[in-house]
Amino acid sequence: MNNTKPFEIDRDLISPNRNIVPITSVVDKDRGLLVGGCALLDLGKHYGTPLYVLDEETIRVGCRSYLRALKKYYPGKSLPLYASKANSSLVISSIVASEGMGLDVVSEGELITALKGGVPGERIFLHGNNKSDEELLLAYQSGATVVIDNHHDVERLKEVIPHDKDPLNLMLRFTPGIECHTHEYIKTGHLDSKFGFDPDQVKEVLYELKQIHWTKLTGIHAHIGSQIFELQPHQDLVEVMIDLFQLARKIGHPVKDLNVGGGLGIRYTGSDDPPTIDSWIEGIANTLKNTCKARNIELPRLMCEPGRSLVATAGITLYKLGSRKEIPGSTVYLSVDGGMSDNPRPITYESLYTACLANQPLAKADEMVTIAGKHCESGDVLLKDLGLPNSQSGDILVVFGTGAYNNSMSSNYNRIPRPAAVLVNSGQAELVQKRELPQDLLRNDVLPVRFLEVG
């Protein structure tokens, strides 16, 4: 888990997921590590820690990489969607919308965030295996497409959606039976999954939807996992999806969209070797082109849902080092002022990260340490066996690759407030998420009146 050459930025590929650090990272001999033209030491002092830092340029380059690759390799229409569960915010929604991408959501909160962030309703897709009536109605009213996941979705739509107005655009999600070599908790394409219709249910639901005049089935969707380093599974997925696409057309549905989901991995550590965005799109696009040509069918609009590969590398987290505990002959623990409440991935998925000191990013390691969080859990450990130069309490630790599933999965465990977040670009830092204060955590607490009564 050492910080193995994290600053070797592959600028030629312009595929941010292949880098450990944001693409604007620069080491200055006097100011330490800079991202987006901003010295991380200065950010930590001004905004406090823990602090989420997002590099705008890395996000935009990621968006453009997907758009460019689709245009380069696929002759038909295409639309990449940002999987906002990775990190849902007004500023990220605004960035991806301005780059011409769409966005997928899985809740009313994410849907409202997307709309307020400027994403047009027609470029928003609502997912979820247990959508509420409020979510379904808001999706319809905003012009979003609903991705139906099960029969419950269909039954609730019958009760919620007006039957005498414009039809509701639907996409059907199914489980394709394709597994990937990834963590069990982030496999979503195998048959034993809570997501999507099983293959033996699809034909029945397609006929059922054909009888509902106020629905319009516009596409087919599948998703096979996350943090994937293999190219072949998505190419296999395309061939499976085309079978269902043709069946829907045969039944009479005006399907035009084929959404292969997301899942492209990123480089968290030096040993990770994910494909480039370019090669990932090339394989999918070529398979779809060749399959459609062989079957003599019109090219569908190709859609995909990158999340982690767009925002993870753009994000870093700053912590302040605190206490030190040395166990003779064993472990050196350095504690930080955050932990599992701002990054639950290590304790949940045993996820690995790369880190360095903000003031000595290239210094030779003098010791191997374990970075511990401050929460009352022995498993609250962010990094193990990290090589660092000699450090002291108050130093700023930089953890890379935290732009996805850190802020979005954060909590108030131990009543610890969530961090602030800043967006950096061209030497400017802008606050995009206020830091919670301890008193903010009481805003939804209600003390019964009888507890306040005296005597």
Q: Catalytic residues, which ones?
A: 376
Helix (H) or strand (E) holding 53: strand 51-55
- Check: CB of residue 3 under 8 Å from CB of residue 355: yes
Taken in order 357, 361, 365, 366, the sign of the CA dihedral is negative
What is the C-alpha separation between 132 and 157, in angstroms, rounded? 10
The partner residues of 221 in beta bridges, in order of sequence, read: 173, 259
Q: Give 42: exposed, middle or buried? Use CB within 10 Å, 0-12, 13-18, 19+.
A: middle
The partner residues of 27 in beta bridges, in order of sequence, read: 33
What is the C-alpha separation between 209 and 177, in angstroms, rounded? 23
Angle (CA) 284-185-276 rounded to 5° is 30
| Pairing of the two strands 257-259 and 215-221 | parallel
What is the C-alpha separation between 399 and 20, in angstroms, rounded? 10
What the block records as the tokens of 175 is 């489980």
What is the C-alpha separation between 414 and 373, in angstroms, rounded? 12
- Check: CB of residue 96 under 8 Å from CB of residue 90: no
How far are the Cα atoms of 104, 201, 276, 282 from residue 82, in angstroms, in the given order? Answer: 6, 28, 17, 19
Rg (CA), the chain: 23
Decide: helix, strand or coil at residue 20.
coil
Q: Nearest Cα to 173, choosing from 204, 194, 201, 148? A: 148
Phi and psi for 113 in degrees, rounded to 5? -60, -45
What is the C-alpha separation between 161 and 437, in angstroms, rounded? 40
User: Which amino acid appears at position 406 of this protein?
Assistant: N
**Maximal C-alpha separation, the chain:** 84
What is the C-alpha separation between 252 and 219, in angstroms, rounded? 12
Hunting for tokens 């605004």 — which residue is that? 94
Q: Give the ranges where 12-107 is alpha helix by DSSP (H).
A: 40-47, 56-73, 90-98
Helix (H) or strand (E) holding 244: helix 232-251
What the block records as the tokens of 195 is 């997501």
